[in-house]
Structure 1
């Protein structure tokens, strides 16, 4: 892909102090050294190298991927920063890539804005940046621009990240939460609630020894396989904050249909089920960072499930429900006890700061 000509390669600055100070946000040499050392040298690529105030691309190069630009942004304030199965850096890249991919876009470029608390160890920042770079390489995207701010001690919790993503949607792909039709099938690509449970376990507040790991993963490759096998797919959403329950309600409301799911076939890890029972949580509302909800026509459901199960991130994919002609916007679940219950939008938050 064509970018602006790269200037002669310069040497990167280096930071020798162990912790970030307010001087590192002051716009001078200390700030330049911090950005060079932690971010520029780690994210190093041709689009970033000129270090202009923006990354620049030829529109003709973007257009060869499709006919529509996809653009998204998200902020990440997870606590703790490192948790079983991931960290805030991996989470930031995966979360933004997945937001593009569920719209049928091929993710191409990310920006990264970091708000850093005074006193944070520089090595911690290096670990976060290295994780972002490794995840970006795995996905096939580049982190091409960004911003760094340092705030006084106590003004944030070590580090907050904001990532913005750009991708291009193929001409033959049209997805939307308003496209579900009665008779369509509701799929998920695996067990639910792992991320929310992993974060709560990692905090140690409950004194629980949990083996649960976050499902944080980049899903663009899996979604490509799904769309190739089931080109009539109506809608895809990643079930992050608010979990599967929130996504289903959003789809039901947007399409003015009802959705019925079955608790008996909704995949849950036994550890997560037990975790939720102990703490009084509903796993349908727990966050996921590697799970999608997809609505596909009934004649493509088998092909969709097969495609998902053939991918490493979809091996436990399952059909969990169906789109109905019932009350518009209503989501109901058949329970293991033989009854039904309404699955409403979450009021408040079961688990704060999970992403």
Structure 2
């Protein structure tokens, strides 16, 4: 039986077998019928063991290469606001974008469990292709492995990405300076709570969409407002708290946050109160944390709020010379508490 995917294409029937990873005719058919049509581009169509990219095409965009990789093991594979395919593209694009780079090329490695429905695999592949088109990147090389039943959880994805950083951009976790402003691009914890609710393990009647989205466009408008952004990270596993602790440690500064300024969706806030979770530590897949000079903070904030990915952006704190290496939260009740680095894992298999 065949089925339709959300983009209107007919999906193949059957299931993935070990033969599809064996390097023979079945694998060739999987590549030709599922992967190549979705990722169609000249660099991939050559079907070599590597993608060959002319250096001249890279040098047009800047003077340094940004290179990153990540693996995605989220369960369930599909959730409100996205799926593992969209997540893999956005996560890798965002890791490039927060260096100031223009993302250009991705690799895609699929580890598939024997028995996964071919239609489900094809839908995830189409989601990867759709997310890549929206982000302006090309999937130019990849790999497929099939493992025995029980050796994986349906599908794992590894993506690596290449981008180019324009001359003059120097973004680093070690550049925060006393007086700088701390900005977040929107509501915290949406992805973490969306995944938790999608697992149907809790009797909570709530609807939360993952914030999974590419951030390269948002970073571009931020750099347009201030090329001297000091620090920039997307707040994924470990959330905003972990990112800020990394900034504080690398820059040897203190960070003072204002709890009242933190943007948190009311549904997420309610779920956190019920479950005893802290939104500062929850995973996000479409939010970033920036440290910018105070003199440019208002301009950067205005640019962010004019972009669809930064409508809820807020200045939430400042860098201080005191309490170096620590993040301190001014609570809504007038007190203070230390926001430590996350120890352990609040929620497993988030991304």
TM-score by length of 1: 0.95
Cα root mean square deviation, aligned: 1.1
1:8 is aligned to none
**Which residue is 1:116 aligned to?**
112
Cα pair 1:190 1:315 within 8 Å, conserved? yes
1:266 aligns with 2:287: no
Deviation at 1:272, TM superposition (A): 0.4
Are the equivalent residues in 1 in contact too, given 2:11–2:123 (CA < 8 A)?
A: no
Cα displacement (A) at 1:38: 1.7
For the pair 1:346 / 2:345, whether they are aligned, the reply is no
Aligned to 2:93: 97
How far apart are 1:207 and its partner, in Å?
Answer: 2.2
Unpaired runs of at least 5, structure 2: 1-9
Question: For 1:176, what is the secondary structure of its paired residue?
Answer: coil
For residue 16 of structure 1, report the CA deviation from its aligned partner: 6.2
Q: Secondary structure at the match of 2:23?
A: coil
Task: Indicate if the aligned counterparts of 2:173 and 2:246 stay in contact, CA closer than 8 A.
Answer: yes
Tell me if structure 1 keeps the 8 A contact 2:173–2:250.
Answer: yes
Equivalence for 1:224? 220
- Cα distance in structure 1, aligned partners of 2:218 and 2:341: 28
Contact 1:15 1:30 survives alignment (8 Å): no
Runs of 4+ deviating beyond 2 Å:
14-17
Look up the SS of the partner of 1:107 in the other structure. strand
Among residues 275, 289, 296, which one is paired with 1:293 in the alignment?
Answer: 289
Q: Does 1:197 align with 2:193?
A: yes
Contact 1:18 1:122 in 2 (8 A): yes
Distance 1:57 1:347 in 2: 41
Number of matched pairs = 342
Equivalent pair of 1:96/1:165 in contact (CA under 8 Å): yes
- Picking from 14, 18, 38, the partner of 1:18 is 14
The Cα shift of 1:352 comes to: 0.7
Q: Could you list the per-position Cα deviations for residues 235-289 of structure 1 after superposition, in whole angstroms to 9, with x for gaps in the alignment?
A: 1000000000000000000000000000001000000000000001011000000
Measure how far apart 1:71 and its partner are: 0.1
Aligned-partner SS, 1:313: helix
1:116-265 to structure 2, matched below 5 A, reads: 116-265=112-261
The 1:78–1:227 alpha-carbon spacing in structure 2 relative to 1, beyond 3 Å, is same
For 1:80, the equivalent position in structure 2 comes to: 76
In structure 1, distance between residues paired with 2:120 and 2:328: 45
Equivalent residues of 2:113, 2:148 under 8 A apart: yes
Match for residue 10 of structure 1?
Answer: none
Alignment equivalent of 1:29, drawn from 25, 28, 32: 25
Maintained 8 Å contact 1:233/1:295? yes
Cα distance, 1:37 vs. partner?
1.6
Q: CA deviation at 1:209?
A: 2.3
Unmatched segments (≥5 aa) in structure 1 = 1-13
Are the equivalent residues in 2 in contact too, given 1:15–1:34 (CA < 8 A)? no
1:90-115, CA deviations, whole angstroms, 9 ceiling, x for partnerless residues?
00000000000000000000000000
SS at match of 1:112: strand
Distance (whole Å) between structure 2 residues aligned to residue 15 and residue 311 of structure 1? 35
Q: Distance in 2 between matches of 1:153 and 1:209?
A: 34
Contact kept? 2:15, 2:117, Cα under 8 Å? yes
Q: Is the Cα–Cα contact under 8 Å of residues 13 and 119 in structure 2 kept in the other structure?
A: no
Alignment of 1:323 with 2:329, yes or no, is no
1:15 positional shift: 10
Tell me, in whole angstroms, the C-alpha distance in 1 between the residues paired with 2:341 and 2:32.
44
Distance 1:230 1:319 in 2: 15
| TM-score where L is the length of structure 2 | 0.96
Note the alpha carbon deviations across 1:152-171, whole angstroms, 9 max, x for none.
00000000000000000000
